Amino acid sequence: MSKEERRAMINEDQTLSKTTKCDLFEISRSTLYYKLKRSEPDVQELALCRLLDELHIKYPWMGSRSLRDQVNRRIDYTVNRKRIQRLMELMCINAIYRKPNTSKRGKGHKIYPYLLRNLTIDHPNQVYAADITFIPMPMGFVYLMAITDWYSRKVLSWRISISMESDFCVEALKEAIDRYGKPEIFNTDQGSQFTSDDFISVLKDAQIKISMNGKGRWLDRYLLRDYGGV
């Protein structure tokens, strides 16, 4: 039995003295009489947690080192990294940044050649491009997929999802084609969402040339340039 179970049996039984019962159950009398002292909340700790929460929402990509530096610039005492790490773990705070697996290849998926090298893009509906990025939220992040016309840089369609399944990408692709017509070439990275059978079949049915590059991330640069980031 656990110590808590043995302690409960001692308190329930009234036939023997507590000293005898403690000896029988191998529990010290000090443990039997000990009561946990409730500690009052640390005002400084609460203020530090609030500051960390505000900084995490404002700078969701920062880890414990950067947050430590930000905190120390705003308070009149010094906080070390271990304390920041402990509070981050307590508050379930993790740095949010673009992970490399957004462009992870799907096993068995066909990879198509890159068709835009040395190509002059000079009119709308010549090349559409799609990419996926992250949007940081107060309690985590979501995935944003957007399709743009490569010539005009117009966003043709977009979807948000909490998972990396291909469904939301296929929905955005169908909407872009229905609303603006089909392009001559559709370019993506080699992520499993864009090489999936569901996504590729839509392009093939519309007789659109498929182009794939090794690295994407143009959506990050687009959002940073035109909207100051997400």
**Residues 85 and 115 placed together within one structural domain of the fold:** no
Section 216-225 average pLDDT: 50
Q: Which of 90, 114, 129 is the last residue of a domain?
A: 90
Query: Can you give the residue range of the structural domain that contains 107?
Result: 100-227
Looking at residue 143, its pLDDT comes to 84
| Maximum mean pLDDT: which of 120-124, 130-134, 225-229 | 120-124
**Residues 55 and 149 placed together within one structural domain of the fold:** no
**Residues 122 and 163 placed together within one structural domain of the fold:** yes
Section 21-50 average pLDDT: 71
Where b means 16+ CB within 10 Å and e means fewer, 44-66 reads: eeeebbebbeebbeeebebebee
pLDDT band at 225 (very low <50, low <70, confident <90, very high): very low
Section 143-162 average pLDDT: 92
Beta-carbon count within 10 A of 228 CB: 7
**Residues 49 and 104 placed together within one structural domain of the fold:** no
Check whether 174 has a pLDDT greater than 90.
yes
Residue 38 lies in a domain: no
CATH number for position 129: 3.30.420.10
User: Which of 174, 106, 92 minimizes the C-alpha distance to 138?
Assistant: 92
Residue 95 lies in a domain: no
**Residues 107 and 217 placed together within one structural domain of the fold:** yes
**Residues 201 and 123 placed together within one structural domain of the fold:** yes
Of residues 53 and 11, more confidently modeled? 53
**Residues 130 and 50 placed together within one structural domain of the fold:** no
Residue 221 lies in a domain: yes
Section 3-10 average pLDDT: 70
**Residues 80 and 164 placed together within one structural domain of the fold:** no
Residue 142 lies in a domain: yes
Residue 17 lies in a domain: yes
- Tell me how many domains the chain contains: 3
Residue 204 lies in a domain: yes
Looking at residue 226, its pLDDT comes to 47
**Residues 223 and 121 placed together within one structural domain of the fold:** yes
Check whether 125 has a pLDDT greater than 90.
yes
| Maximum mean pLDDT: which of 96-100, 141-145, 167-171 | 167-171
pTM of the model: 0.53
**Residues 120 and 65 placed together within one structural domain of the fold:** no
**Residues 111 and 66 placed together within one structural domain of the fold:** no
**Residues 123 and 207 placed together within one structural domain of the fold:** yes
Q: Which of 51, 66, 90 is the last residue of a domain?
A: 90
For 157, phi and psi rounded to 5 degrees?
A: -165, 160
Q: What percent of the chain has pLDDT over 90?
A: 40
Check whether 10 has a pLDDT greater than 60.
yes
Section 89-103 average pLDDT: 68
Residues 102-123 have pLDDT tens digits of: 555 555 678 899 999 899 999 9
Residues 195-205 have pLDDT tens digits of: 999 999 999 99
Tokens representing residue 1 in the block: 């039995």
Looking at residue 34, its pLDDT comes to 60
Looking at residue 32, its pLDDT comes to 62
Check whether 172 has a pLDDT greater than 90.
yes
Of residues 144 and 23, more confidently modeled? 144
Residue 217 lies in a domain: yes
Looking at residue 176, its pLDDT comes to 96
The span from the CA of 18 to the CA of 220, in Å, is 69
Residue 9 lies in a domain: yes
